[in-house]
Amino acid sequence: MNLKKIDWIAIDWGTTNFRAWFIKNDKVLKEVVKSNGIKNIPNKNFEDTLIKNINIPKNISSKIKIISCGMIGSKQGWLNSGYEKSLHLKKNNLVKVKTKNRYLDFYIVKGLSQNNPYDVIRGEETQVLGYLQNNKNFSGIICLPGTHSKWIKISNGKIIKFKTYMTGELFEIISNYSILSHSIIDKKINTKVFKNSVLLSQKKNFNFFDYLFEFRSRALLSKKKYYPKSELIAYLIGNEIKSNINNTKATKVIIIGSKYNSKLYSQAMHALKIKNTIVDSKSITIAGLKTLFNKFVT
């Protein structure tokens, strides 16, 4: 694509993936998706990776404006952009990166932080901003499932507090790197087992650790077919919901995540009679980046 024919580029640059959208007159003309998130870039050659991913020609002679959210602004990323205490729109929400190529105007969105309890958000702040653009007075919970899931309490369009859960990372560690990896070999989720396991996770005396090793012992001693993947995911998501159950009873939960994760969380909430709505994460991310671009960069 001729970069002179676009206004700017929006990027979600996370730990595992790079997603870019070429934008003209607020419309996406092209999408680029690569697997080189920040953990997959040798020697931290972020600028070279960026130039390769969006195919910037060597003879370029005009500025390219880019805004990126995500882990690219972390300590492990291109530049530690720091954190803001609120989502209020101000120029401090963006940090400009000094680049070798003088035709690159590359900005990173700052994350959000809180001190009671200590917690941080990196990337999800842009998705929340995108959602609130069309729901300015929203009050409720926004749940962002993923490697590190976020539950964010919103009142009249303002973030009150948030909490991070290492649900996705724990699932990956247990199912791929523990002794249980030899037993958790089922590929698909059994919906019935998943929902029943979510309900089990809500019982007063339920202890997640009481059930873990049984995945292995059952596989060794029983010929009956089990669905340990469905159970493990349900226990983890169920515990996450259980920690927030008091906040969800009388309110609506908005789920913003990948299609796979959002579907699982929605099914778990429906099993617990929690009202929820899935919102497309890509369009919301782009909407948040558009808001920042139109406010501070154009």
Rounded to whole angstroms, the Cα distance separating 233 from 235 reads 6
pLDDT band at 283 (very low <50, low <70, confident <90, very high): very high
Nearest Cα neighbor of 151 from 140, 142, 160 is 142
pLDDT of residue 90: 62
Q: Report all structural domains of the chain as residue ranges with CATH numbers, in order of start.
A: 1-113 (3.30.420.300), 123-284 (3.30.420.310)
Mean pLDDT of the region 205-232: 95
Residue 187 has pLDDT above 80, yes or no: yes
Question: How far is it, in rounded angstroms, from Cα 252 to Cα 272?
Answer: 13
Judge contact between 153 and 141, C-beta under 8 A.
yes
- What does the pLDDT look like over 137-146, one tens digit per residue? 999 999 999 9
Query: What is the band of 252 on the pLDDT scale with cuts at 50, 70, 90?
Result: confident
SS3 letters across the chain: CCHHHCCEEEEEECCCCEEEEEEECCEEEEEEEECCCHHHCHHHCHHHHHHHHCCCCCCCCCCEEEEEECHHHCCCCCCCCCEECCCCCCHHHEEEECCCCCCEEEEEECEEEEECCEEEECCHHHHHHHHHHCCCCCCEEEEECCCCEEEEEEECCEEEEEEEECHHHHHHHHHHHCHHHHCCCCCCCCHHHHHHHHHHHCCCCCCHHHHHCHHHHHHHHCCCCCCHHHHHHHHHHHHHHHHHHHHHCCCCEEEEECHHHHHHHHHHHHHCCCCEEEEEHHHHHHHHHHHHHHHHCC
Tens digit of each residue's pLDDT (9 = 90 or more) over 82-138: 999 877 666 678 999 999 988 899 999 999 999 999 999 999 999 999 999 989 999
241 pLDDT band, cuts 50/70/90, is very high
Note the pLDDT of residue 251.
Answer: 85
CA distance 288 to 281: 11
Beta-bridged to residue 280, according to DSSP, are: 257
Query: Which has more confidence, 200 or 5?
Result: 200
Q: What is the pLDDT of residue 88?
A: 66
Average pLDDT, stretch 135-159? 93
pLDDT in tens, 15-45: 889 999 999 999 999 999 999 999 989 889 9
Q: For residue 28, what pLDDT is reported?
A: 95
pLDDT of 149 reads 96
pLDDT at 280: 92
pLDDT band at 168 (very low <50, low <70, confident <90, very high): very high
What is the distance between the alpha carbons of residues 74 and 70, in angstroms, rounded to a whole number? 8
- pLDDT at residue 266, rounded to an integer: 98
State CA 251 to chain mean position distance: 22
pLDDT for the residue 91 = 64
| Nearest Cα residue to 20 out of 78, 80, 73, 67 | 67
Q: Is the pLDDT of residue 217 over 80?
A: yes
Percent of the chain exceeding pLDDT 90 equals 82
pLDDT of residue 61: 75
* Residue 250 scores a pLDDT above 80: no
Give the confidence band of 60 by pLDDT, cuts at 50, 70, 90.
confident
pLDDT for residue 237: 98
Supply the mean pLDDT for the chain: 92
